[in-house]
Every structure is written in structure tokens, then in C-alpha cells.
């Protein structure tokens, strides 16, 4: 299957288990791997045969900067569901949500959740 990759989209949200996270907010980084047939788009040079990257970005922004969730897992699930609702050509999606600074002790670059969902 062909893929559109959208990497390191950065947003600011208020998700987390701790009240400070919900009050102060923090950065979230999202990577998407969108699976769809791009052959016809490549042959015809017709945007209607693909998915508009700007629209994908806007849906992602609405989810990450929208309704507060306790878990990063819930952000990923909600985003996958909204992408399937909005884009009929989408066959499958991998959603990676990275939380660069979760409030847990230790030295690490980030914590991330990655899910793969297919249209049913």
C-alpha cells in the first residue's frame, strides 16, 4: 500500500493525569503514516485522487489541541477515528503521539504511543 507520511507536527495541549498538566499544558508531537492507493493521483496529477495534507493537519490539530484527555492513548485513538470519518480514501493509519516532557522522574528524550488501525 502507498503511504503519505506527516512527521513531527507539533501542537500544544492540556492532556494528562495530573492537574498541573491540565492547567499548564505541554507540547505534543504527532507522526502519521497514512495508507491509501496513490497510483491514480500520481498518474492524473489530480488532488481528488489523494488526501489533502492541510486537511489532515487541521484534523490532527483539532484533536490534539481540543478536548482534554487523561491518556496519550486516547488522543491516538480519537485521531485515528476522526481521520477515518473524514477521509474515505484512507485504508489504514499509524498514529504516533509523542509527549516530550511527561512529569515522571528519570532521564529520557520522550514517551510515545504508536497505534495502527485499519478501516473496517
Domain layout of the chain by residue ranges? 2-102
pTM for this one?
0.94
To 5 degrees, how large is the angle CA 35–CA 66–CA 57?
35
Q: Is the pLDDT of residue 25 over 90?
A: yes
Residues forming the active site? 99
CA distance 76 to 96: 7
Is the domain covering 2-102 a CATH 3.30.1130.10 domain? yes
pLDDT tens string 82-102: 999 999 999 999 999 999 988
For the stretch 36-51, pLDDT in tens is 999 999 999 999 999 9
Amino acid at each position: 500500500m502507498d503511504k503519505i507520511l506527516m512527521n513531527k507536527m507539533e501542537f500544544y495541549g492540556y492532556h494528562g493525569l495530573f492537574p498541573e498538566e491540565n492547567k499548564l499544558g505541554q507540547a505534543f508531537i504527532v507522526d502519521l503514516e497514512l495508507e491509501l492507493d496513490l497510483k491514480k493521483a500520481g498518474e492524473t496529477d489530480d488532488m481528488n485522487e489523494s488526501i489533502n495534507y492541510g486537511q489532515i493537519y487541521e484534523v490532527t490539530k483539532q484533536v490534539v489541541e481540543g478536548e482534554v484527555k487523561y491518556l496519550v492513548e486516547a488522543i491516538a485513538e480519537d485521531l485515528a477515528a476522526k481521520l477515518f470519518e473524514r477521509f474515505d480514501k484512507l485504508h489504514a493509519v499509524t498514529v504516533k503521539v509523542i509527549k516530550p516532557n511527561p512529569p515522571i522522574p528519570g532521564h529520557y528524550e520522550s514517551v510515545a504511543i504508536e497505534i495502527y488501525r485499519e478501516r473496517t
